[in-house]
Amino acid sequence: MINRPRRLRANPLIRGMVRETRVSADSLIYPIFFEEGTNIKAEISAMEGQYRYSPDRAKEIIDDCLSHGVNKVLLFGIPREKDEVGSQAYAENGIVQQAIRAIKEEYKDDIYVITDVCMCEYTSHGHCGILCGHDVDNDETLKYLTAIAVSHAAAGADMVAPSDMMDGRIAALRAGLDDNGFQNTPIMSYAVKYASKFYGPFREAAGSAPSFGDRKAYQMDPHNIREAMKEAALDEEEGADILMVKPAMSYLDVVKELSYNTNLPIAAYSVSGEYAMIKNAGKAGLIDEYGIMCETTTSMYRAGVDILMTYYAREIADAIKRGDIG
Ligand code: PBG
């Protein structure tokens, strides 16, 4: 007797019934870049279709997200002034704080606002913390990260997402948020963030490339996965509510392994380089951009991703409606 798995592939209805991976637009988060000024919508040259907005034009992009069914956003800021300690990152009227207020005034709880907590876009040297010589001073940096997170929560952020990779930052942020009355603000930790070339286009978008050296003394070595489990476990112990793996596409083994090792929701960030590769290969006529977007997204959820940050969030939400993604 022949075993016939094809019986369950006969038509779209039965394929839909036996599908193992189901994706919902509820789990998508769209990253948005804000810069200081007014009436700005500037295309990011390394990321076609992505723009930097001034806060007064937030409505345009938020309305668009909502019209596709995407109601979670991750905010990044590009300040006018950078300095040694990234003081615009925690300034009461900093760019992200302005953007949060603009969005929250208009939309209240109709949109969930998450903020990236880091210093590299705000420091003159482009590193993710306070320098001591050529090294980032871990414990000194924690004080600044805490101030940044608290300032975001005070401006109305629903959730904070630290991406700096300093040791002990989740405990520091949790204590700082709690002390300031933000016990209910969750922390999504970039727990497992690799030192990756996939961030290249983002660094152009945010003007955040380090002026010397690299980030290998704080971000993780792409060769390691046991260390990823250690990082994730530490962040869980310190009070993280959600654990993130970043980048996504080349790190799905890490997502899978993490899914066996935690009971927290797992997020992944499909980063700028992943978007740019698919976008540009599609434009060059080498691949089917839409089809590859659907397939790579499906593979992320199949690996165990619960929540996905992606520059394709709106297109993915449409693909889910059409049934092209589970
Ligand atoms: C750091 C940060 C980076 C990204 C998100 N947060 C860049 C970096 O670590 O250099 C990358 C996101 C992307 O590439 O899309 N604040």
Q: What is the pLDDT of residue 114?
A: 98
What's the one-letter identity of residue 141? T
| Residue among 72, 82, 104, 193 flagged as catalytic | 193
Residue 127 has pLDDT above 90, yes or no: yes
For the residues of 282-299, what is the DSSP string, one character each?
A: HHTTSS-HHHHHHHHHHH
pLDDT by residue (tens digit) across 36-65? 999 999 999 999 999 999 999 999 999 999
Distance 206 CA to ligand 1 centre (A): 9
The C-alpha atoms of residue 129 and residue 141 are separated, in whole angstroms, by: 5
Distance 109 CA to ligand 1 centre (A): 26
pTM reported for the whole predicted model: 0.97
For the residues of 249-318, what is the DSSP string, one character each?
A: GGGHHHHHHHHHH-SS-EEEEE-HHHHHHHHHHHHTTSS-HHHHHHHHHHHHHHHT-SEEEETTHHHHHH
Domains, the chain: 5-322 (3.20.20.70)
Alpha helices in the chain (DSSP H): 12-18, 58-68, 95-107, 138-155, 169-179, 200-206, 226-238, 252-261, 272-283, 289-303, 313-322
Return the bridge partners of 267, or none: 244, 307
pLDDT by residue (tens digit) across 110-123? 999 999 999 999 99
Mean model confidence pLDDT for the chain: 97
For the chain, what percent of residues have pLDDT higher than 90? 98
Q: What is the pLDDT of residue 205?
A: 86
pLDDT by residue (tens digit) across 272-303? 999 999 999 999 999 999 999 999 999 999 99
Q: What is the pLDDT of residue 154?
A: 98
* 166, 132 contact by CB (below 8 A): no
User: Which residue ranges have their beta carbon within 6 Å of ligand 1?
Assistant: 116, 118, 120, 163, 199, 202-203, 208, 271-272
Query: By CB neighbour count within 10 A (0-12 exposed, 13-18 middle, 19+ buried), where does 87 fall?
Result: middle
Distance 6 CA to ligand 1 centre (A): 43
* 140, 114 contact by CB (below 8 A): no
Q: What is the pLDDT of residue 144?
A: 98
Mean pLDDT on 15-24: 96
Interacting residues of 1 by C-beta distance below 8 A, sequence separation 6+: none
**Token digits for 218?**
């704080």
How many CB atoms are closer than 10 A to CB 44? 19
Mean pLDDT on 152-161: 98
Residue 79 has pLDDT above 90, yes or no: yes
Quick one: DSSP state of residue 120?
Answer: T
What's the one-letter identity of residue 314? R
Closest-CA residue to 27 (of 289, 255, 300): 300
Residue 321 appears among annotated catalytic residues? no
Q: What is the pLDDT of residue 231?
A: 98
Residue 269 has pLDDT above 90, yes or no: yes
Distance 59 CA to ligand 1 centre (A): 24
Please report, for the chain, how many H helices and E strands are present, in that order: 11, 12
Which of 33, 122, 163 best tests ligand 1's pocket when mutated (most atoms within 8 Å of CB)? 163
pLDDT by residue (tens digit) across 207-265? 899 999 999 999 999 999 999 999 999 999 999 999 999 999 999 999 999 999 999 99
How many CB atoms are closer than 10 A to CB 147? 16
Residue 59 appears among annotated catalytic residues? no
**Token digits for 114?**
């998450």
* 157, 186 contact by CB (below 8 A): no
**Token digits for 190?**
């970039």
| Confidence label for 204 from pLDDT (cuts 50, 70 and 90) | confident
Nearest CA to ligand 1 atom 8: 199
Q: What is the pLDDT of residue 225?
A: 98
